[in-house]
Structure 1
Amino acid sequence: MDRVDLKPPADTVGQRADAYAAAPLLNCLLREVAEQLPDSGRRPVHRLPATGRLLRVRPGRRPADPEVYGAGAWHRLGHTELVKLVAEELLRHTGVSGGDLPAEMIDSREAVTALLVARARATAPEDPYLRSEQSLITGHPFHPAPKARGGGPVAAWLPYAPEAHAHFPLVLLGVREDQVAEEGDLRALDALGTAPPGYRLLPAHPWQLALLDRDLAPAFADGRLVRLGTTAFDAWPTAAVRTVYAPRRDLFLKFSLDVRITNDIRRLWRHDLLKLRRIDTAVTQAFAAMDSPAAWLSDRGYRTAVFAFEELAVLVRDGLRGHLRPAATPLLAAGFTEGFEGSPPAATADPDAWWEAYLRQVVPPALTAFHDHGVVLEAHLQNTLVAVDAAGTPVQALFRDAEGAKVLPDVSRAAGWERLVYCLVVNHLSEIAAALAEHHPGLDPWPAARRELARHDLPEIPALLASPTLPGKTNLLLRWTGADGADARYLPLPNPLATG
């Protein structure tokens, strides 16, 4: 279900889209650029230092109702006006124009409009896991354009949008055997259909295939590629858009997608594919050695065509059933921050106990993987599933995405720790804690988080609990200045653990 505080009964779809799109942009602006003025009352006033403009918003984890001061009065800003304000500030702040980012911000808002309209007409999946994966209307809460879809026409991407409750068959291609590049356990791909003699089966995402239409025409013409129809079952796009889940096969497939989503063009890049098995093996071994119910959804291998190595790559990921505890229901952690029908944090009658159970499942495996095995999980909200029992209590955490994981010494321990703290504490626990406290006013989630972290004998923990700041990723400035999407840059944020 949509977030209540962004959906007043009288709002039009356009007003709701403005609210959804403005919240993450405001989060970025307030975190990375603006300066809050002291004693500015219940509606905090922020100064934009480069232009000197004054901005005030309705505070909260999803700030709303932005107003700018001018001619002696406060003036309400729609999303378009907010983008202009941000662009003027950042142009003066950085000295660069921001490239395509202003257009992406507008595209993100237009995408939200299309999603809200489509979602109102669609039927949500009965499976609570799929509902949680397809619940993210806001998306990344600290990105200026989290729902941008590459600027293409709505008709090109909406049939494949998880937020619109899409599901669709996959296209089956045959790749001539002398043109195949692959590594790992790919039996799940071969089981999807039957390839003609001399060919290997290669599923394709229909959106990606449409984007590659001209580029692949010669390969279809000379027989390096053949079309073999579609799968006999539907796949459901997950929150990651290009990763789909096929419930009938209990199979995840991750595709390349030549579209910018948040910070990156979402291809399966060659350099990541070539190190996939090494990293996945290290993470798999780390989880196997843990005395924990936590699980790792292994990225078992990839297959592609040598003439379109990145463009046609598909990655095979473990399904859920072989990893779940009996009678447990997996749910996407990011879904808890948006809300969906049956979301446990909203429904629990004992938020303190629920939060302590959540911390017990999520925190230990991430810290153990790092300290005992040199594995840095990208344990953010979209890479973590939390399985709950019949009462909605967390009983297991499942982690995914070898592409985002790091191993020591590929990165230094200090750099790995900073990344883990950002992903696990800032991106993940802070958002769940804020959502839980919003549903249950009066709850202070940080003493329990502090206790859970303090239980673990890592040399970095005392400094983490004593530090006045945590590392916050600067997605707005990163995108505005055209930095590489993988080049994380951090600024200090107040650390709630230091006083929790």
Structure 2
Amino acid sequence: MNAFNSSLSPSYDDTTTLLPGGRARRDAERSAIRTLLNCYLREVAIPGGTLITSPGAHILQTLPLGWRQKQRSQRWLLIDLQHSRQQLMVAVSRHTLLGNYRYAYPVLGRSTAGDGAAWAELDAMQMTTWLVADLCDAEGMPFNLEFTQQIKLSLENTANILAHRLQHPPGTDAPQDLYLFSEQSLAFGHAFHPTPKSRQWHADGAEAGYAPEYRSYFQLHWFKVPRTLLRCETVEPLSPTQLLADIAPADIWTADDECLIPVHPEQAQYVLSLPVTRRAVESGTLEYLGSAGDEYAATASVRTLYNRDTPWFIKGSLNVRITNCVRKNAIYELETALALNSRLTEIKADLQSQHQGFRLLEEPGFMTVQLPGLDSADNTLIQEGFGVVFRENINRVLSDGEQAVMAGALFQEGNPLRDAVRIPNKALWLQHYAEAIVLPMLHAFFAYGVIFEPHLQNTVICLKDGLPSGVIVRDFEGVKLVDSRWSDADLKELNDRARQSVRYSFTQGWNRVRYCLLINNLSEAVSFLADDNPQTEQQLWLIIREVISAYLNSTENALAREHLTALLNGEAIPSKTNLLVRIKKHPDRQAGYVYLNSPFAIAKH
């Protein structure tokens, strides 16, 4: 077996006798190494000039002889950790433009202090400690133990997921619901996120009970609320009465002046732990009913829940830190979802008429609880704790014969959908996909000042007859509006905090579009389809270039022509700093960008 067919596939030192637990641990270790190296190389080593892609013979001669001989046909990467006076060495299949390397394991490390030391194998957490220590030294800050612990938690969760998968394989039959299967297939997570499976649950056993990778179903928990204390807002033609009727379990009776509001089972325990909630329950203002109604499954975001037979996804607050964020619905996010839904509905028809196959999942309603007599802090805890956004079910926008898969699962390392989605003609497949996603994203930005967030987890690919027939964009939390196109008067129903959150400058928006579309999404699609073949990779980038060029040639928009011409001429492309924002302990919204060499600079030749 080629050690570089997959960076999570067996390499030279593997045996065929590993037990499932050992295999799961090995692959989780490699995944943790891979994601952290990916982030470090792209965000730090390449921009900072500390990555040596052709180490000299005097360096290679210091490597362990047996290891060097095993990897003699490969390329080498030497990473110089200047602040801590250490070095890392890893073998890769080839050099790549955007840092999508295929690694051979293990990674070696040594100290360069004094006379130096011999190379030694590093496991995932040893490598993590080295890299985090060096980055913290560079920033002049103490060692970031919290971040290191989150990497370890992500590794442990990944190992448990993989062990569960080995003990409960999905079988050979095609999944009954391919869309849900894809949502539950992100065993490793995004390849350029340092803690893709870090979830800091409050209750023991919650990961196995509620994480999507375990393919479990569970009932929602319900609270009975006086109608006067339920804040339920909708966008026409949906009415609050219809929304309440759509979600209410048939087996719970309510009086005419009462309503029901759902929460995630884990969130129920959180809100019940709040003194303000306990007082409301003890006084009879709220009534906790426990679990009831239809069963739901978690999607890849963990907190957004799906039942194929109901009208709505349920995106409830979940006060659990997942990767870098506590996944609650802030009050302003509830309000902006409705405002954005109204604005996007106005342009959706034009986008769909010009770009067939493009679809949005609308978010036309939210609800939460408003208790009387609360101070500002308790009011925020209650409204955010109970906040729920209702998103259109994906099955309402698919046409006959179409299937849907989440892009992140399709392009993931290890290809969990290999048996369900076959791609015999990679060039033709990517041509259809690029046309489906690139054209409407560019048109929305340049024609309307709408900044979608088409990263891998937000993008759902529609498939018909084996080819992409469209894309579905979801989650209005990530949608922004260009401030030069959308004035305060255009968003007058929003307060200052909400308007501030939703409006971006043109430059901010163009950075976000290029990062999400080209780096987060399409570069992973190209890496997956090319399968480490440089000629195929260049051919696929040329296809994407031609799709962008077609839009450029069709538009008279001056901004579009200026910025797309620069893009196709090879300007550097922004890539989000998922690692550095964590090192600095900043919220995710403060993440910056590094700029990568453009694949179009090569593809145009």
TM-score by length of 1: 0.93
For this pair of structures, how many residues does the alignment match? 496
Distance 2:253 2:542 in 1: 57
Q: Using the alignment, how far apart are the partners of 1:480 and 1:367 within structure 2?
A: 33
Deviates more, 1:69-78 or 1:247-256: 69-78
Asked if the contact 1:467/1:495 (under 8 Å) is kept, the reply is yes
Taking a change above 3 Å as real, the CA distance of residues 151 and 320 of structure 1, as seen in their structure-2 partners, is closer
| Further displaced range: 347-356 or 8-17 | 8-17
In structure 2, the residue matched to 1:475 is: 578
From 65, 87, 92, give the equivalent of 2:137: 92
Aligned-pair CA distance for 1:470: 0.8
The letter for the 1-side match of 2:416 is F
In the TM superposition, what is the alpha-carbon distance from 1:61 to its structure 2 partner?
4.0
Structure 2 residue aligned with 1:334, among 392, 404, 408? 408
Please give the per-residue CA displacement for 1:225-280, whole angstroms capped at 9, x wherever unaligned. Answer: 22334343221111111011111214211111111212211111112212221112
**Residue 281 of structure 2 is aligned with which of 197, 203, 220?**
220
**Distance across 1 between alignment mates of 2:419 and 2:334:** 35
Identify the residue that residue 450 of structure 2 maps to in structure 1: 375
- Which residue is equivalent to 1:42? 75
Task: Identify the residue that residue 200 of structure 1 maps to in structure 2.
Answer: 259
How many angstroms does 1:137 deviate by?
Answer: 1.5
Are residues 99 and 283 of structure 1, via their aligned partners in 2, closer, same or farther at CA, if it must alter by over 3 Å? Answer: farther
1:117 CA displacement: 2.3
- Assess if the C-alpha contact under 8 Å between 2:201 and 2:321 holds in 1: no
- Partner residue of 2:96? none
Q: Secondary structure at the match of 1:44?
A: strand
1:131 and 2:199 are equivalent in the alignment: no
Q: Map 1:409-420; keep pairs closer than 5 Å.
A: 409=483, 410-420=503-513
Is the 1:99–1:480 Cα contact (8 Å) retained in structure 2? no
In the alignment, is the contact (CA less than 8 A) between 1:179 and 1:224 conserved in 2?
no
**CA spacing shift, 1:63–1:168, aligned 2, 3 Å:** farther
CA contact (8 A) 1:19 1:64 kept: no
Q: Secondary structure at the match of 1:143?
A: coil
Secondary structure of the 2:551 match is coil
Match of 1:427 in 2: 520
Letter in 1 for 2:548: L
Partner of 2:226: 176
Structure 1 residues 154, 429: CA separation in 2 closer, same or farther (over 3 Å shift)? farther
Question: Aligned to 1:107, which of 153, 156, 159?
Answer: 153
1:4 and 1:173 mapped to 2: Cα distance? 47
Moved over 6 A (4+): none
Mapped partners of 1:181, 1:18: distance in 2: 46
Q: 1:422 to 1:148 in 2, by over 3 A?
A: same
User: Do structure 1's residue 403 and structure 2's residue 477 form an aligned pair?
Assistant: yes
Alpha carbons 1:376, 1:406 under 8 Å: kept: yes
Offset of residue 439 of structure 1? 7.5
Q: Structure 1, residues 314-345: CA drift from partner, whole Å, max 9, x if none?
A: 11000122211321101000011222234677
Letter in 2 for 1:416: G
Cα distance between partner residues in 1 of 2:176 and 2:204: 26
Matches within 5 A, 1:110-189: 110-122=156-168, 124=170, 126-150=176-200, 152=202, 155-184=205-234, 185=238, 186=240, 187-189=242-244
Does 2:108 match 1:67? yes
Change (3 A) 1:10 1:271: farther
Question: For 1:51-90, what per-residue CA distance to the aligned partner results, in whole angstroms no more than 9, with x for missing partners?
Answer: 2321122435454522213455332211121121122111
Structure 1 Cα separation of the partners of residues 364 and 253 of structure 2: 21
TM-score by length of 2: 0.78
1:483 CA drift (Å): 1.4
Query: Is the contact made by 1:377 and 1:404 (CA closer than 8 Å) also made in structure 2?
Result: yes
The structural deviation recorded for 1:471 is 0.5
Over aligned residue pairs, what C-alpha RMSD do you find? 2.1
- Is 2:551 the partner of 1:456? yes
Cα distance, 1:353–1:335 mapped onto 2, change above 3 Å: same
Q: 1:17 aligns with which of 9, 13, 28?
A: 28
Q: 1:207 to 1:153 in 2, by over 3 A?
A: closer
Equivalent in 344, 363, 366 of residue 302 of structure 1: 366
Q: Secondary structure at the match of 1:146?
A: coil
Report the Cα offset of residue 482 of structure 1.
Answer: 1.6
One-letter amino acid of the structure 1 residue matched with residue 8 of structure 2? L
Looking at structure 1, the residues matched to 231 and 401 of structure 2 have their Cα atoms a distance apart, in angstroms, of: 39
Change (3 A) 1:29 1:195: farther
2:223–2:261 contact (8 Å) kept in structure 1: yes
* Kept after mapping to 2: 8 A contact 1:33/1:48: no
- Deviation (angstroms), 1:442: 4.0
Is the CA contact (8 Å cut-off) linking 1:104 and 1:151 kept in structure 2? no
Instruction: Give the Å deviation of 1:126.
Output: 3.3
Rounded to whole Å, the distance in 2 between the matches of 1:176 and 1:57 is: 62
Tell me, in whole angstroms, the C-alpha distance in 2 between the residues paired with 1:179 and 1:451. Answer: 55
Contact 1:170 1:206 in 2 (8 A): yes
Paired residue type of 1:201: L
The runs of 5 or more residues in structure 1 that have no matched partner are none
| Aligned 8 A contact 1:123 1:165 in 2 | no
The separation in 1 between residues aligned to 2:473 and 2:429, in whole angstroms, is 20
Could you tell me which amino acid in structure 2 is paired with residue 213 of structure 1?
L
Q: Which residue of 1 aligns with 2:41?
A: 30
CA distance in 2, matches of 1:231, 1:61: 47
Check the 8 A contact 1:26/1:63 in 2, yes or no. Answer: no
Are the counterparts in 2 of residues 351 and 436 from structure 1 also a CA contact under 8 Å? yes
| 3-state SS of 1:6 partner | coil
Cα gap change, 1:243 to 1:353, in 2 (>3 Å): same
Change (3 A) 1:95 1:483: same
Identity of aligned residues (%): 29
- CA separation of 1:343 and 1:495: change in aligned 2, threshold 3 A: farther
| In structure 2, C-alpha distance between the alignment counterparts of 1:318 and 1:20, rounded to whole Å | 34
| Structure with max Cα Rg | 2
Q: Aligned partners of 1:162 and 1:52: how far apart in 2?
A: 41
Query: How has the CA–CA distance of structure 1 residues 211 and 58 changed in structure 2, closer, same or farther, with 3 Å as cutoff?
Result: farther
